């Protein structure tokens, strides 16, 4: 969000927009966010969604450029789940992360969500989300206790690698998308580490390789 020095809040208009947001379609969110920003006396409120494979924040507004998860102020806000304020040319830009439990598995997820962060006290509260700042082993203990006998899912390659090294991963679900990215975060990135042997669970031979065959689609 960007704001000048003459910000004024139109509370009535803002309330109307918040009601509209409850039924807005995804492609309508960018325009709606900017109208909310205007009601708050702000210039703009662009929305970005994260693409972890490419390490990019992708804007819903197609006129904007993607931002790096690693090297941008917006990326810092995403990684730490806390606001980042940037002062430039007399205006303030505020980046904030909004974890949404409803987006996991396309909305099919039901259960508590834990986010492991180095900045838990700066993180913005979100319904259904608990922020942790502890060792990964302790985070697993907390998660398993909350799961109450059900599965504990881990959605982080970096945390997953640490848990693999400590023998705390029982199963790995691999979902193969038909695209070669050429860059991004590796599933397991441990230079100098030892191989991790796997057993196939949904096949007759646990040591079998899984072969898939794709056709290359060339852009014209």
Q: Indicate whether 175 belongs to any domain.
A: no
* Same structural domain, 68 and 10: yes
Residues 207 and 188: their CA atoms lie apart, in Å, by: 20
* Same structural domain, 84 and 108: no
* Same structural domain, 8 and 67: yes
Burial-class residue 51 by CB neighbours within 10 Å (0-12, 13-18, 19+): middle
Q: Indicate whether 182 belongs to any domain.
A: no
Helix (H) or strand (E) holding 94: strand 91-95
Per-residue pLDDT of the chain (220 residues; tens, 9 = 90+): 554 444 455 677 767 776 776 677 767 777 878 887 787 777 888 888 888 667 888 888 888 899 988 888 888 888 776 778 888 777 778 887 776 666 666 667 778 889 888 777 766 667 778 888 899 999 999 999 999 999 999 988 788 888 998 999 999 988 887 877 676 667 787 788 788 889 999 888 998 888 999 888 775 4
* Same structural domain, 83 and 117: no
- The answer to whether the pTM exceeds 0.75 is no
Domain count, the chain: 2
Residues 155 and 175: their CA atoms lie apart, in Å, by: 12
Residues 156 and 163: their CA atoms lie apart, in Å, by: 10
Residues 155 and 219: their CA atoms lie apart, in Å, by: 32
């Amino acid at each position: 969000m960007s704001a000048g020095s003459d910000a004024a809040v139109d509370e009535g208009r803002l309330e109307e927009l918040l009601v509209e947001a409850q039924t807005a379609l995804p492609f309508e969110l960018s325009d709606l966010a900017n109208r909310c920003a205007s009601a708050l006396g702000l210039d703009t409120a662009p929305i970005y969604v994260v693409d972890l494979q490419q390490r990019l924040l992708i804007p819903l507004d197609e006129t904007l450029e993607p931002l790096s998860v690693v090297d941008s102020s917006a990326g810092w806000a995403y990684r730490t789940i806390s606001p980042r304020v940037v002062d430039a040319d007399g205006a303030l830009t505020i980046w904030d992360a909004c974890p949404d439990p409803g987006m996991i598995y396309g909305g099919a997820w039901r259960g508590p969500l834990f986010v492991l962060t180095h900045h838990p006290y700066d993180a913005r509260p979100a319904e259904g989300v608990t922020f942790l700042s502890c060792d990964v082993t302790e985070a697993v203990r907390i998660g398993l206790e909350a799961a109450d006998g059900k599965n504990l899912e881990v959605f982080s390659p970096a945390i997953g690698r640490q848990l693999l090294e400590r023998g705390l991963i029982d199963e790995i679900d691999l979902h193969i998308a038909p695209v070669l990215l050429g860059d991004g975060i590796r599933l397991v990135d441990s230079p100098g580490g030892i191989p991790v042997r796997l057993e196939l669970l949904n096949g007759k031979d646990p040591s079998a390789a899984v072969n898939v065959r794709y056709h290359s689609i060339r852009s014209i």
